[in-house]
Amino acid sequence: MYDDRYMDMECKINWFVNNLKEMTALLHISVSPWFYFIVGLIFSSCHIQGQHMCQPQVKKRVQPQYLFQYGDKCYEYVPSADSWMHARDDCRSKEGHMLSIGSAEEQTFIYNVLTKTYLAKKIWLGLDDRVNEGQWKWDSGDIMNYTHWAPGRYVDPYHDQEDCAIMVMFRYGQWDDVDCNALVHGRYLSYPWICQYNKWTKVSNSTSTVPASWSSWFSGACSVTCGAGTTTRLRRCSTGHEGDCAGKAFETVTCDAGPCPIDGSWGLWQQWSTCSSTCGGGRQIRTRDCDNPVPRHGGANCNGTRIDSSTCSLTDCPHWFPFYEASPCSVTCGVGFIQLKRNCSSGNPHDCPGSEYSEKSCTLINCSLLLTI
């Protein structure tokens, strides 16, 4: 419900007519459309305005149908849709701020004005958390002692990227957060906005002879997540008309998203090491390094092992061949011995452990038998 303290008599009549329409519709009372048309013509200059708190400079610059007030605040409805950054700069350039809402009563008033007078669907709020996620602040610097967020807004998987607030009329004026830098058909997400001026704020006259100048660039996201890509950036002319400023308002430029991760890859195997044994069976190893390339910028390490091993055998170790009899029995009768000898496989008996000679016993005919013969 609008606050009667801030309406002039014509606006009260217009407010009455608007509510009369709703009542007749609810009660199914038939009223000729010509009645509303004639009343509308009579009071067409009234748009819930009541401009007592608006400074003369504001009244001179803004068409009266776009001005209204609540308490000691003067509001200017800007119907042209543009980005949140543009809306903020526009209000600041006129020594005002984007809309801030401090109470449920003010919320209801703004919602009714937007839906019944301007038929707006969505508008920007002067509310953002671009500096610290979750710490929402009014562009006006007002203390945030009232909120009207839509339930379930945190379900959005892109919530952390949505840093600017809007009021949504088809949700009964509830607030939602959107991506400030979202591009739609090559342009930033755009909605109308409201500039508000305090009671004693002096607003710059747009007819001043200050030379037209560009704002700083507003850049979108880079087209790639790493390496070189492109981005679209926008800027606005201080007069609100791009033709007043020299140069382009929209362009595509290169951007650097930082180095891309590089996964590691194995280099070539090194030579085998010396066999662990000089003869017989042994082992040898070889190594490789993860340097082709070395992992960088968060890239993955090499998969697999760095060390490989294998069995090795250079030559057979020197060894003895079997013994053989190197001499006859040492006696002609009785018990004696026979000398045994063996050869080393290397040809050098010193290469093999132990002696190359041995002996074994031998027994010939009994010597006493020979004496009796």
pLDDT digits (tens, 9 = 90+) for 148-204: 999 877 666 666 778 899 999 999 999 999 888 888 877 888 999 999 987 653 444
pLDDT on residue 6? 39
- The C-alpha atoms of residue 352 and residue 30 are separated, in whole angstroms, by 128
Here the tokens at position 278 are 């000089």
Residue-wise pLDDT tens digits, 311-349: 988 788 888 999 999 899 988 888 899 999 999 988 899
Strands 174-178 and 335-341: unpaired
**HSE-up of residue 190 (Cα within 13 Å, Cβ side):** 12
Our CA dihedral for 38, 39, 45, 51, rounded to 10 degrees, sits at 180
Residue 235 burial by CB count (10 A; 0-12/13-18/19+): exposed, middle or buried?
Answer: buried
Residue bearing the bigger pLDDT, 132 or 303? 303
DSSP reduced 3-state for 107: helix
- The C-alpha atoms of residue 347 and residue 339 are separated, in whole angstroms, by 20
- The C-alpha atoms of residue 135 and residue 280 are separated, in whole angstroms, by 76
DSSP reduced 3-state for 255: strand
Among residues 343, 61, 21, which one has the least CA distance to residue 204? 61
pLDDT on residue 9? 41
Residue-wise pLDDT tens digits, 205-231: 544 456 788 888 888 888 899 999 999
Spacing of C-alpha 355 from chain mean position:
82
CB-based burial, 23-33: b 16+ in 10 Å, e otherwise: eeeeeeeeeee
pLDDT on residue 43? 39
pLDDT on residue 49? 42
Domains and CATH numbers, the chain: 1-46 (no CATH), 54-205 (3.10.100.10), 231-256 (no CATH), 324-371 (2.20.100)
pLDDT on residue 46? 38
- The C-alpha atoms of residue 127 and residue 175 are separated, in whole angstroms, by 10
Q: CB neighbours of 123 closer than 8 A, spacing ≥ 6? A: 99, 114, 166, 167, 191, 192, 193, 194
- The C-alpha atoms of residue 84 and residue 75 are separated, in whole angstroms, by 17
Q: Is the pLDDT of residue 33 over 60?
A: no
Q: Is the pLDDT of residue 4 over 50?
A: no
- The C-alpha atoms of residue 85 and residue 137 are separated, in whole angstroms, by 15
CA distances in angstroms from 178 to 4, 52, 296, 324, listed in the order given = 34, 34, 35, 102
pLDDT on residue 364? 84
Model confidence, pTM: 0.43
Residue-wise pLDDT tens digits, 227-271: 999 998 888 888 777 777 888 888 889 999 899 999 999 999 999
Among residues 271, 252, 195, 260, which one has the least CA distance to residue 226? 260
pLDDT band at 100 (very low <50, low <70, confident <90, very high): very high
pLDDT band at 107 (very low <50, low <70, confident <90, very high): very high
Residue-wise pLDDT tens digits, 269-309: 999 999 888 888 889 999 999 999 999 998 999 999 999 99
- The C-alpha atoms of residue 193 and residue 26 are separated, in whole angstroms, by 32
pLDDT on residue 38? 43
The rounded mean pLDDT for the chain is 81
- The C-alpha atoms of residue 21 and residue 45 are separated, in whole angstroms, by 19
Residue with tokens 């019944």: 116
